[in-house]
Chains A and B, each alone.
Chain A
C-alpha cells in the first residue's frame, strides 16, 4: 500500500527561515504570517516589494522572502509611492505601526490615500511605541499608562486616540479600508481575509487599501500575553470598532 501525504500546513514560501526577534505574545508574527500566506496564495511573491517601517517591525524585511526596502520613520507611504509609480506592475505594500503611521507619518499616509496610490498598507495598532520602550502613541487609550504618560493618558493634556481607518475612509482615493483584530483565532481568520481583499484591491487597481490590525504588546503593556489579548478585546475594540469603513463596489461579493 502506498502512503499518500497531504500538506495541510507549512511555512509560506514568502517567509525566510529566520526566527523573528519579536517578544513572546506579540502579534507582529501573526500579522507577518497572514501577509506571507496571502502573498503565496495570490502568487505575488516574485513581483512584490515590501516597505518596512521604523519601530518594532524595522527588521520585517528579514522575515519575508521578497524584495524589500526600509523606510525612514513614517515615510513608508511616500517611499511606496515612489516605487509604485515607476513599477506599476509590481505589488507594493507597507507595514507600519501606530507611531510610524499615525504620528510622524500622518502627512504621508493621508496624502498617499488621497492620491489613490495603488498600494496596500498593513497598519499595526497596538496603542504604544514598542521599540523605544513603551511611550504614548497617537492611538494610546485615554487613561492608559505608558512611560511618557506615567499617570495615564490625560486627554486634557495629551488629547485623544486617532481612529485612522475612519479618517482614511473619508478620502475618495481609498478603495478598501477596514479594521480587524488579532486577539483570537476567529478574528485572525477575518484579518487574513481582509489582507487578501486589500491585495486584491491593489491587483485590480482600485486605489489605496489599508487593513488596520488591533495588536497586542504584552511587554510594554506590562501584562501577560493572555491578558494582553483580553485587553485588545475588552479595552481596544470599544475605542477602535472593528468593521469595513470603505469597500470599493468591485470588491463586494468577491469570494476569497
Chain B
C-alpha cells in the first residue's frame, strides 16, 4: 500500500481498526481527542462498538468488560485521563485479560497543559495502578512506527493476556506525516476458551481479580511475575543509529529520541563519535543491550521530555560503569535538535566528568538557562 499523509491520532485509530479492534470506549481529552472522533465515525460504519463514556473511569471499565469477552478492545486518552483509568487498568491486569491503552501524553502534573510531554514515564512504565503487575509499554517515535506498534500491541496483549500501553506525546498525536497503513486483518470468530460468552455446552467461565486468600493472591502475583520474565526475554525492541563505533551514547525514547537522532547526525558531521539508542519497549527495557554498550562507550547522555525518569532506570542498569549526563525539558517543552547537539558537544568536550548525580548537575544548567544567566 502507498504512503499517505496522515494526522497522528487518525493514523493510530485506523491502525487499530485494521488490527481488528472490535470496540473503542473513550472520553475526549486534548491532545488525543481526534482518536475518539475518528473511531466515532469509523467503528459504527464497520458494525463495531463505539461508546463515548461519561468519564475515563467508565471508559476503562467498559474496556475491562469487553476485554473479558476476548474481543479486541482499546481506549485512547491523555495523561490526566489515564490517571483516572488506573483503577480499571489494575483490574484488567489482575484479571489477566488483554487490552490496549494509548496515552498521548501532555504536560503535568495536575491539569498541566496540552503540550507534548513524557512526564508519564513512571506512571506508565512502573505500573501506575495499585498492586503487583507489569504492563508492557511501547514508545514509538513516528506516525509510521505508532501504526506498526499499535498492531503489535494487540498481539502482545493477547499473547500474554496483559495490558499493553502505547505511549506517544502530543507532538505525534497532532502532527501529520506520511505513513503506510497495514491491510485489514480478519477478526477471529471464535472467543478464546477463557472468555465469557455464555456457558453453552461448557462450565461457567468466571473472570475476576479477587483472590481473597492471600496465598492464592501470592500464586497469582508469582504467575504474573513469571509471565513478565518471559516478556523480558522475548519482547524487547529498540532502535539504534550510528552505534557501531560510538563513544558517546545518547539515549532517548519517543519524540526526544527522534530529535536526538538529528542531533547525533549533526554531531557526526562535526566528527563527534556519537550514537543513539532508542528504546521502543520501555517495558521491558533493552537492559541487556545497554549493558553491552557500557563496555563500548565512554559517556552516556540521556535525553527526555521529563525530569529524568528513564534516567533513573538507566543509572540502575549502568551502575556507574560509564559516566552519565542528562538533558531534559519539562512541562510540555520539546527540545530542539540544536539544544541536544550543544549538549552532545558539551559532554564530548568534558574530559573530566564529575561524579555528581547527573540530575543535580542538570538542574544547575537548567536554572542558568531559564534565567538567561551565562
Q: Which A residues have a C-beta under 8 Å from some C-beta of B?
A: 16, 45-49, 51-52, 58-59, 61-62, 64-72, 75, 78-83, 85-87, 90, 107-108, 110-111, 115
Contacts and interface: CB of A to CB of B under 8 A. Distances in A.
Nearest to B88: A72
A46 B58 contact: no
A101 to B, nearest CB: 14
A69 B65 contact: yes
A81 B51 contact: yes
A24 B160 CA distance: 43
Contact of A61 (B63, B65, B91, B206): B206
B210 to A, nearest CB: 6
Contacts of A51: 65
Interface stretch (B68-76, B145-153, B319-327): B68-76
Interface string B43-86: 00000010101110111011111111101010000000000000
Given A67-B197, A67-B199, A82 B207 contact: no
B73 A86 contact: yes
Given A65-B204, A72-B61, A75-B58, A85 B23 contact: yes
A62 B206 CA distance: 8
Contacts of B69: 83, 86-87
Interface residues of B, number: 39
Contacts, number: 132
Nearest to A73: B87
A80 B199 CA distance: 17
Would you call the interface of chain B mostly helix, strand, loop, or mixed?
mixed
Given A67-B206, A85-B23, A75 B196 contact: no
Interface of B: 22-23, 25, 49, 51, 53-55, 57-59, 61-69, 71, 73, 87-88, 91, 95, 196-201, 204-210
A16 B203 CA distance: 11
B65 A81 contact: yes
Contacts of A75: 57-58, 61, 64, 87-88
A71 B95 CA distance: 10
B101 to A, nearest CB: 14
